[in-house]
Chains A and B, each alone.
Chain A
């Protein structure tokens, strides 16, 4: 077993006892053969200081629980290699959302925007006895859209979302909106476009592309947003 000391600067805030947030300098020994990810080190850190609070679940990048700001960039702790990070590793909660405690943010606003786009297939035609048929080409349109894990790395790295979290749907919500627009089984495209026809909801995206840069699933919300904008314009013409 080879060990390595990992140095951290961690954002700490417990409203139950702290008047204001502070940065804690702390380090921890990890086994370099089995504890290679940032989450492994944080879990180890929690053994040293059990008050350190963060969300985590699947530890393989599919549940979206452990999104945080790592050395200034949003990402998932469980799929970020410690080796790739400059130390001390500065870990903060996702920016732009209210902090509940330490690295745990209140995601209410983020999910409210996701819910606002009606994230479900709408199809009022009677369902057939068997599956609705979809060609392989049509199904391919959903690739790069349905894989979103709702971690919020993208929306909380987007300046437009920071400014107007209540009005701008944000990259995650808009990616989901396009996921349903692009689905041949969904019959509500017009209604969905109407729902986004507003100076803020869609058009606050200024293609800064932070969302693309941080997405841990390598998805491209900007591209999806571009496609929705294109459809809006076509509709006017």
Chain B
């Protein structure tokens, strides 16, 4: 096969539920593999926060939507001779299938490298897939593909309930679910049909084991399985929602190899070249199996398998797509043995999903066949016990492990339901069940989780009890070395030991006692290497983890000067790929400055956890305990905390107290910025304005404060049961309604109430300072007014409507703050501006979410500069002042995943709910905005817009936009208030009734019948009935995949953009072309 000269790679766009950081990893690896071959690479990916869209990874990047239109335009312009479509998740795959069907590849003579598109179609179309497998006698679940509701009902009749419904061509199991009867089926099918023309009605295999294999095949028909994985949860829960172990733990050799052989047979038959994933259901009572699906592309599972084994699947898949045979490639860990082999693990990994369902109001908490989790962690250990407890801590949800967590009252009446109906808390319910006296058998009956896993968990529970027993016998002093060692081998953290032995008060102080005692007894972990061959051959890479199952370290501490970079841990709403970019850039700069880099991180969806990014990778917890274990071993010259988001910042004070060589801003200053009281009084000292706020412990005090500052106010209770953690309220009933959600208002659980300034502009400053002096900064402006979380807001860089005078004032404030906090390294300040008055609302003495965006658009890599500062290098003040001279505009827009979160209210609020972001460039603000909104799933409406324009201010604000829409020939549908308002102002619109009016034409009917192309629904703060109506409109729009905007400012900007620009007007310009302007 001739090697191509120029290859286009499709990225996966913004992070969303079901499609997250794993595709940054796979795309980056593919680009690396192609670059090595001297092939010119062009990447299309609007996700500006990724590593793959950094300088020098691809030869050029288009920050454009990964949609057939834009990809064809890029092909037309770039004339590549090859394209890679398997590295950008389902987004890239769907786009490729559409282009293939449209004859685009043929038209422009572009060769699809790797798996042929036809094979992809064969795996994606359920009917063809089943037929293909039937041809070779491989079993699939009994199922029927249908395209109509009647067909679905008839199929269910034939197959029998319970059944599972799946949508074809859907990412992360979107539109899937179980139905036990015709009614449930009808509801599910209707939704599934809204995302796909074809749905599948299938026999339910509930209770069967779920097992996956990652299969690699080259063009010479050589085929291997790199890793198998077993789901802890039985089938019925999407693998992205399951706790997963690798390799399988409860499969016999016969089962393991039976499924392996079937996998190889299937993948050969399908003709896949590169990498794919095959999922099975395996009967727990026999060797019966069913193939569930094949993903003919890199996937979340393949990223996990790569990290689990050390086998660089994406890299190898890219090489295979160029025509290499597996035998020609080397095992990149040993660098001597062949890439044609199957890794042998001498450890196991446990992957756990992280949910953020608590961030959403109204969302259904059950988990099932559709994905809801927003991130995942991978824990490595020698035993399941060790790994699973590590993993539960890595999730960063405040849990200390399987046991010794904050006591939560057990509602015994709900326990059985919590066990039998999968939910995000199920694993903790298992512990509660043990406490309540359930045995393994009873838990098995309820959960159908294999007894082996339950036995392991029961062992942890029992040891926890044994430790608690020691507390009665004298606590720490009564603890024998053997028992301590056993506990550590079972994954107990020092904190867990502290709780069990010394009680749940003063845990952090007691943790230090446990640590001291443990070290005195010589109970310390050993460093082990992941080498793909279970020590059969020496490894040349330093992919490391710590375990208590061992007596010997695999390597010596780093002897050269080294710097540790702490990663950002689990992706969650508010912290994801942007911090991975920061960490990777920090590590690269550490190397460039002549130090060895050591990364600590545990997120399998990241590039920072590729073992060739740093000199040493510790795939480990970012807890105080584990970081100190590593620092004790490595004794590096420095530790960088400020590029990893909030997790590293949280342990700054303790690390510094323990003598860790933290680089940059002092931990005490970080604490001053993070402690609301300290920060506030410092701002007062500096004469910097801030919105008024108070921390209050009684309802009377709250009323008193509100009387002083007036409504609306922002309230943040310490602890809420469900829904958003903070909210803006405009009147007393709302205040009381919201505080009902708070468990308690008391001295222990105070409520923070802040003055909320309406219609204020929000401006952010990302900067780097060196010993208190700013050396580089970037200012960006939110499209939305304050009140939308900065992580959800749409941002312009450079700012478009900020006065020069305001910028000057911001800078003065930032300089004061930098000096006062003696900042060295990255920081971020958020400002409010109204009537030229500037207030500071937040300051983070670390890199912020927008660092990659402003760094890439401005051309000043703030992380590189920050890292140099941290390493004590002199950094020249740059020309940040000239940002207004930038000849183009960048717009960052947020990606929401409400479609996947059944029931969640899709509205922008003060609490963040977006799962990802994009950043696009344009010659004008409108162009950049339109490109970025199209990148996060908006479509330019064809004919119709439904408007409920909310309170009077937003009605007024949107009036002009409505007029423009009408001028442009759009039909407006409006609910009562908006309809009358438009009538009064001479804007023609058609009245549609509110959902609860039960009268036609009803908004819901129009949405369900897809008579509406765009919904603008601005929420009001009024009666409950209207809130419900608004909610129903928003939710239905999301459920039927109709673009929805809930912010007047964004709506206005979007309407302005698509009424002044047509799709064809959007420039197809690469990043390099923009930079050259």
The yes or no verdict on A and B being binding partners is: no
